[in-house]
Each structure stands twice: as C-alpha cells, then as structure tokens.
A and B are shown apart, each in its own frame.
Chain A
Amino acid sequence: QKEVEQNSGPLSVPEGAIASLNCTYSDRGSQSFFWYRQYSGKSPELIMSIYSNGDKEDGRFTAQLNKASQYVSLLIRDSQPSDSATYLCAVRDSNYQLIWGAGTKLIIKP
C-alpha cells in the first residue's frame, strides 16, 4: 500500500514566524511532488511543485525534497493569518498515480 503521511496538526505558528510542514512517502520510485493549499470548504489549489532533490523557492514558500529519506517539506516564511489552511502533500508515484496525504491544518496566530 503506497502511502503519503502528514501530521494532521493543527500546527499553530505566530504571525511572522516560519511554518514548517512535513510529508513522508513510501514509494521510492516517486517522480513528482506537490504541495496544495485548501481553505475550509474550498478546493485544493497548487502552491508548489518539486521534481529534484534540494530546495525550490517561490516567494515566501520553499519546498525541500530529499529522495533518499523519502521526505518533502514546505516552509512558509513571514507567516500571515491568510496562510491558515490545510496543506496537502501529493506524490506522483512510479505508476504515475497521484497519492495524497490527509493534510496538515496550519493556524497562524496574529
């Protein structure tokens, strides 16, 4: 059973601090990795995609991938209350299927 694991949270972070969200996956053949943000009652929206080991930065967001450890993370710098949402990790496995984690609920406290 291919799995993507995330801590369900909630993760509470003060406004202006760095929020760190983590995800592990079981399929070593996984090819692509995605972070989606989902506000309550809304559909997921793509935040970041990462395909190779290392860091990828986009504005306040940094995705980090370590294929040897089967670990992908998302850092949010200068956290804002509007960042409060559930963050979903999705992994494209060796069979090209997208496997989703259950999401981490992030709360940014003003």
Chain B
Amino acid sequence: GAGVSQSPRYKVAKRGQDVALRCDPISGHVSLFWYQQALGQGPEFLTYFQNEAQLDKSGLPSDRFFAERPEGSVSTLKIQRTQQEDSAVYLCASSHTTTGGWNEQFFGPGTRLTVL
C-alpha cells in the first residue's frame, strides 16, 4: 500500500473492556513497531517484529498487552481489561530494513484510545 494504515482511528472503551488495534504496514516492509504516545510526550516503544517474529517486547507495560503478526504483514495489538492509564495514541511504524530494524521508520496515523 501507499503507507502504513491503522484501524480504528479512534476507540472509546469502558474500563475493563478488551480492545484490538490493527496495523497494516507498507507492503514489503520487514520490520514493524508499536509505540504508545501520551499527550505532550514522544513515542514510547512497546514492541518490535521482524516478519512474524516478535524480537523485542520489552516495552509492553503489563501482561495485559499482547501483540502478534502471524503472517509477517498485518499486526494486532490487543489490550485486555483496559485501564484509564492505557488512554493514549497507539502508533504503528514499519521499516524495510533489517539492520537492527531500527533505521528510518514510517508511521501510520495512529489509534487514539480513550478508556472511560
């Protein structure tokens, strides 16, 4: 595709509800990243995939957060039993390189999650 796409763009959840956020990376991009961005802050790393392999999940804040990329393209970030502190913009980025996977990253529009 032309760019990274994410859905939904906006999600309102009641506390305790489970949510699933989807990311479609740029076609052919090997590396995929999830970030959490709070208002007025830079993105905070959550997890990294190279193809279908989750190589780094050190940034996931709790075991309520789970990410997968089963076929090496589309990825889903799932948050179970959402809490108010989970409210943030969730950004997905992809990169075509595998050199550490950390070179130029292209971002999707993000999903703004609001937990009431």
* Residues of A participating in the B interface, judged by any CB pair closer than 8 Å: 4, 8, 32, 34, 42-46, 49, 88, 90, 92, 96-98, 100-103
Contacts and interface: CB of A to CB of B under 8 A. Distances in A.
Interface of B: 33, 40-45, 56, 91, 100-110
A88 B45 CA distance: 14
B110 A92 contact: no
A104 B64 CA distance: 32
Main secondary structure of the interface of A (DSSP, over half): strand
A58 to B, nearest CB: 13
Most buried by B among A43, A44, A45, A46: A43
Contacts of B102: 32, 92, 96-98
A49 B95 CA distance: 14
Contacts of B42: 4, 88, 90, 100-103
A82 to B, nearest CB: 19
A42 B106 contact: no
B41 A102 contact: yes
Contact of B91 (A32, A43, A92): A43
Contacts of A42: 109
A97 B45 contact: yes
Contact of A49 (B100, B104, B110): B104
A100 to B, nearest CB: 3
Nearest to B103: A32
A42 B43 CA distance: 12
Contacts of B56: 97
